[in-house]
Every structure is written in structure tokens, then in C-alpha cells.
Amino acid sequence: MLRANYHTHTVFCDGDNTAQEMVDRALELGFLHLGFSGHMDEEINMDWPAYQTEVARLRERHAGRLDILCGVELDTLYDPSCCPGAEYVIGSTHYLDVQVEGHSRAIDYSAEVSQRICDECFGGDWYAMCRSYFELEASVYDRTHCTFVGHFDLIARFNDQMHAFDEEDPRYQGPALEAMEHLVRQGVPFEINCGAHNRGRKEELYPRRSLLRALHDFGGQILINSDAHQADCLNGSFDVAVERAIACGFTHAIVLAHDAHDAVEQRLVPLDTL
């Protein structure tokens, strides 16, 4: 079993459990590493000093039992200076670079909001909206200097219920693959994000299988994360992610850990041992 997760949310942002409760669950599962990654974006801004203080307290309290890391999920359109001292950064695109009035511009807020964004800003053309999303996603490393890319194809968050576009259509795949290849060339890994799957919202993980195969063919590297907003989901769908990663050609996944000098390093673990 994979005994690490780096995409973890708590009551400091939009999670349901405290950081201590997440640690307790990680210990129950036999985790070796746990990374906290609270949101910093235009709608969810944590009390960053309080968050850092609590994560540091937990790290000290559980030293020798669980390696705890203080990370952040930083939105592509948000200011990186908001999270000084973050030990790692998840670069995620939740918001489109458009102007809307009276509602969120987050593409994962609700199906209704996504449709309104598409209608108001893209004339109802979902493929144009997807292209805009992936063009912005391609800039996530330049804007955030992220450690890894979060839920790469989040634009498809509600597509299982809306059927608004075909995720295998060249009009969707083309911009997605262009963004992916660009980011791989920049050397940034991608997470396999289990969040929508482990909450029963999507059949596919992020990235979907066709994109995950392309990521392998481009020479990309992966982490596996649950995107846990509840303690019960801390290792949710890890078995599915490992199976799909292997099926798409991957042999190893990255884990993050403190080294002997207290710096965060990337280590490779063989998928066939998980």
C-alpha cells in the first residue's frame, strides 16, 4: 500500500477534519509521510501563519512516527508570495482568467457555474473554454514554481453529469496534450489525483487514462494523491491509481520526504511494491 499523501485539506481551508484528525488517520493507516496542502486562492485564503504553526507543532509531536510536510495548493492565478516558507507547492488551476459578474469563475465550483462561465465568456463553446483552461494550465509552473501539477484536467470535473464535451475529441485532447508536453519539458511532475473518484464524483482519475498514457510517453513523472478533504478519504482510491499507473506504463511514483538536513527531497518508489 502507498503510505503517503501530499494533497491534504483541513478545516484551515475547505476540509472537514482538523489537522490533528488527519494525522491520527494517517497513523492508523501506517503512513510514513503526510503532506498538508491547504488552499490559497481568490476564494479560500488560509490564515497562513496559524496553519504553519499547527503543522510545525504536529511535526514535532509525531517526529519519528510520521514525516509531516507543510505544503500549499496554490492557484495558478494567485500570488505566490502569499505562502512564504511552504515546503512544497501544488500548482492547480481552479479559476479561468476571465471576468464574470455575480458568481465564481471557478471551473470546479458547480456544474451550473461552469455552464454560466461557458455561456458568458465563450459563447457556449465548451471546446473554446477547455482550450482557454489548458493554455492557462500550461503556465502553472512559470506562475507558481510548483513542485508538482495538481489535478491536470480539472476542467472535466462535472463532465460525467453534464456531457458537455467529448474528452477524447481532438478539440479537447489537442490543447491538453500541448499543455502537458510543455510542462513535462519543464521538468515538473504530475499528480494522479484520486479526489473525484474516491468521493464518487467521477469514474476517471485526473489525468484521465488517455492523458495518463500520453504523460508516460512524454517521459513525465507521477505522484499519487487522494486530495483528501475528509479523514476517511486519506488513502481513497490509491489501489485504483496504482493499477492505472502501471497499466499506462509507469513503473515508479515519487514520494516527498525530509532528508537528513531537513530539506524536502523526491524519492522514487516502485509501483509493483505498493
The three grid cell numbers given for residue 18, joined into one nine-digit string: 482538523
Is residue 206's pLDDT more than 90? yes
Spell out the long-range contacts of 102-106 with Cβ–Cβ below 8 A and sequence spacing 24 or more: 104/43, 106/43
- What domains, with CATH codes, occur in the chain? 4-273 (3.20.20.140)
Q: Across residues 259-274, what is the average pLDDT?
A: 97
In this prediction, residue 1 carries a pLDDT of 86
Percent of the chain with pLDDT over 70: 100
Q: Which three cell numbers stand for residue 205?
A: 482519475
**Which single residue is written with the C-alpha cell 488552499?**
39
Note the pTM of the prediction, 2 decimals. 0.97
Mean pLDDT of 48-60: 98
